[in-house]
Amino acid sequence: MEADGPFYRRERARLLAALTRVFGVENLSLAEDVVQETLAKAFEAWAFGGVPEHHSALLMASAKNRALDVFRRERTARKFAPALQHLIESEWTLRPAVEELFLPPALKDDELRMMFSCSHPHLAEEVQVALILNMLCGFGVEEISRIYLASVAAVEKRISRGKKVLGASQRLFDLTAEDFAPRLSAVHRALYLLFSEGYHGASDEAVIRAELCREALRLARLLVDHAPAATSATYAVAALMYLDAARLPGRTDEIGDLTALFEQDRSRWDGRLIADGLALLEQSAMGSELSEYHLEAGIAGMHATASRFEDTRWGEIVGLYDMLLKVRPSPVVALNRAMAIAQLEGPEKGLEAIEAISGIERLEDYPFYAAALGELELRCGRSEAARAHFQEALDLARNEAERRFLARRVEDCAGGKPAISRATPR
Amino acid sequence: MSQFVFLYREARTPSPQELESRMAKCLVWFKDLEKNGHLAYYGHPLNRTDGGVVRDAKGTVTDGPYAETKDIVIGFSLIEAKDFDQAVKLAAACPLVAGGCLIEVRPVLKL
């Protein structure tokens, strides 16, 4: 049983979703207090004899008892849902009402409803993701600030803004509501961003980033397992995450440095995740929808199924990037397309493709834009130009791992050795 | 072998995160004690709230043993050790101590 981080976070999220439904979203902070009390007491008790086998059920039972006490204590001081208000006035109806609120069928959709609630259209995407991290993944403000390399105060502000909007909504999002479909797209987007933060994000802590990916996978799985949410796009989002996450173990080498795709030890990729991802990708092909997630999942699938870098089907990848650019025009997508073109047609063509990107200046602060130029110049044999680009990228690096990776590239150029000879397709 | 009561005392209430990491460490510590034959009885954690020290026949109650402190017993265990010195060594290795807890080590009175 894993007793640190994830266990606590998972239980916190589950209890919070349930108690928020029980007390009503306007009493969110009350729900949070009760969750903290419940967990604190359990951790203290379990320090002596160990964590009991049915700890989840015990925690929920303990939360239920606390909820009973809260209703008794606060029934006159606080406003609860109108339907509940008269039931909690009398001890005769209070207990059965609360018992019912904690029965398995009532608990079933809490986390999903919370997820949809956090993806509120009045909230900026970054606020939605921060809320999901806090409410559904159980990350504290300090942890979230470490994820974004932001100040605690900034994250606090972001989350409290989110909670205000959440608290103003009447109740947790109803999964049968009319605006289910648009809300589902917002959820996709938020989970996609959550995953990307783990996969490409700025945080230096590999452990915390792997956890972000795991959490995103878990939440995507919740969507897949809930029939109305299991749309073709949902399968595509999940496939994308599985196929990318499968390659996570290969992304850092023994000393935790980032390794470029072509240097990765593919035997370290997670075969089970790849298999699951490919199955999800297949399911995403039902229906006629072709979302940006389908295309990205397709690209991820191409990489994950190439047993050697040289075997990658670059032609098809370029084709998928072409389509992706139409659905989601962005300089980052265009940059990735240019790198695929470089694989297919040679580095000079790749450099031409980069020059042709409109809005490339928006990537000025993105270390991997300069690094991409460096890679291609190096492959063209112009190591001086390459070195300058890598140096520029190094100056932009956002964390230690990126710095180490880029510093190594600068050195490779200085030595004049074509460090990436294997990058050219055979 | 002699027996010692460990009384865990603490004046503050740690955060849930602290309590969680403490729980993980305590479990390891207890397992070690058990493996090495030092654990006579796990004992119990005690509720931090609703307790008190009765001070006189009138039933005056304060939080801790001294009127001005909140230092309270948060749990107890029964430990087997060769002598007081060894019991102290065992207590010093307890993760609770590292977290700012005090452990009162009391030999069980033998006749």
Closest-CA distance, B33 to chain A, in angstroms, reads 12
CA distances (Å), origin A199, targets A246, A362, A377: 11, 21, 26
Interval A265-278: pLDDT, tens: 888 889 999 999 99
Q: Which of B21, B43, B75 sits opposite A4 (nearest CB)?
A: B21
Q: Which residues pair with B7 in a beta bridge?
A: B76, B104
CB contact under 8 A, A40 and B21: no
Closest CA to A240 of A287, A185, A199, A286: A199
Closest CA to A336 of A365, A279, A307, A295: A295
Residue A425 has a pLDDT of 34
Q: Percent of chain A having pLDDT more than 70? A: 93
Closest CA to A36 of B21, B16, B18: B16
B42 touches chain A (CB under 8 A): yes
Query: Mean per-residue pLDDT for A199-209?
Result: 77
Q: Which of A7, A40, A48 sits opposite B75 (nearest CB)?
A: A48
CB A149 within 8 A of CB A57: no
Pair of tokens at residue A146: 């470490």
| DSSP assignment letter at A252 | B
* 3 state SS of A366: coil
CB contact under 8 A, A3 and B43: no
Interval A378-392: pLDDT, tens: 999 998 999 999 999
B77 touches chain A (CB under 8 A): yes
In angstroms, what is the C-alpha Rg of chain A?
24
| DSSP for B13-56, written as a single string | ---HHHHHHHHHHHHHHHHHHHHTT-EEEEEEE--SSS--EE-S
Amino acid at A140: G
The torsion angles phi and psi of A194, rounded to 5 degrees, stand at -60, -45
CB A36 within 8 A of CB B16: yes
Interval A65-102: pLDDT, tens: 999 999 999 888 888 887 788 888 888 899 999 999 99
Residue A366 has a pLDDT of 85
Closest-CA distance, B58 to chain A, in angstroms, reads 30
CA distance A356 to A396: 23
Residue A349 has a pLDDT of 95
Task: Locate the domains of chain A by residue range.
Answer: 1-108, 313-363, 365-426
Instruction: Provide the domain limits for residue B102.
Output: 2-107
Specify the number of domains making up chain B: 1
From the number of C-beta atoms within 10 Å of its C-beta (0-12, 13-18, 19+), residue A321 rates as buried
**Between A209 and A133, residue with greater pLDDT:** A133
Residue A4 has a pLDDT of 46
Residue A6 has a pLDDT of 60
Closest CA to B75 of B109, B101, B107: B101
The total of other beta-carbon atoms located within 10 Å of residue A211's CB is: 19
Interval A284-302: pLDDT, tens: 998 888 999 999 999 999 9
- What is the largest distance, in Å, between two alpha-carbon atoms of chain B? 46
Token pair 């305590």 is at which residue? B26
**Between A345 and A147, residue with greater pLDDT:** A345
Residue A61 has a pLDDT of 96
CA distance B84 to B92: 12
Cα-based torsion angle of the residue sequence A239, A245, A246, A250 in order, rounded to the nearest 10 degrees: 150
Sign for the CA dihedral angle at A273, A278, A283, A289 comes to: positive
Pair of tokens at residue B66: 């001294």
CA distances (Å), origin A379, targets A373, A375, A385, A416, B81: 10, 6, 11, 11, 69
Does position A11 have pLDDT exceeding 60, yes or no? yes
Closest CA to B73 of B90, B92, B53: B53
Q: Which of A43, A48, A49 sits opposite B16 (nearest CB)?
A: A43
CATH code of the domain in which B56 resides: 3.30.70.1060
Pair of tokens at residue A11: 């239980």
Closest CA to A198 of A245, A256, A166: A245
> Of A145-154, A225-234, A330-339, where does mean pLDDT reach its minimum?
A145-154
CB contact under 8 A, B74 and A8: no
| DSSP assignment letter at A362 | G
Does position A140 have pLDDT exceeding 80, yes or no? yes
What ipTM, to 2 d.p.? 0.79
Amino acid at A180: F
Token pair 């909504």 is at which residue? A169
* 3 state SS of A54: coil
Cα end-to-end distance, chain B, whole Å: 14
- Residue of B20, B26, B28 to mutate when probing chain A, most A C-beta within 10 A: B20
* 3 state SS of A282: helix
**Residue pairs spanning A and B at CB distance below 8 A:** 53
Amino acid at A269: W
CA distance B30 to B41: 10
Token pair 């939360």 is at which residue? A63
Cα-based torsion angle of the residue sequence A245, A249, A252, A255 in order, rounded to the nearest 10 degrees: 150
Pair of tokens at residue A44: 């203290």
CB A200 within 8 A of CB A245: no
Residue A420 has a pLDDT of 46
Closest-CA distance, A270 to chain B, in angstroms, reads 29
If chain B, 111 residues long, is cut into consecutive pieces of 10 residues, what is the mean pLDDT of each piece?
A: 94 83 89 94 87 89 76 92 96 92 93 77
The torsion angles phi and psi of B2, rounded to 5 degrees, stand at -120, 165
A314 touches chain B (CB under 8 A): no
Query: Mean per-residue pLDDT for A30-56?
Result: 89
pLDDT, chain A, mean: 87
Q: Which residues pair with B106 in a beta bridge?
A: B5
User: How many C-alpha atoms does A368 have within 13 Å on its Cβ side?
Assistant: 17
Q: Which residues pair with B2 in a beta bridge?
A: B81
A153 touches chain B (CB under 8 A): no
Pair of tokens at residue B71: 């230092």
**Between A235 and A398, residue with greater pLDDT:** A235
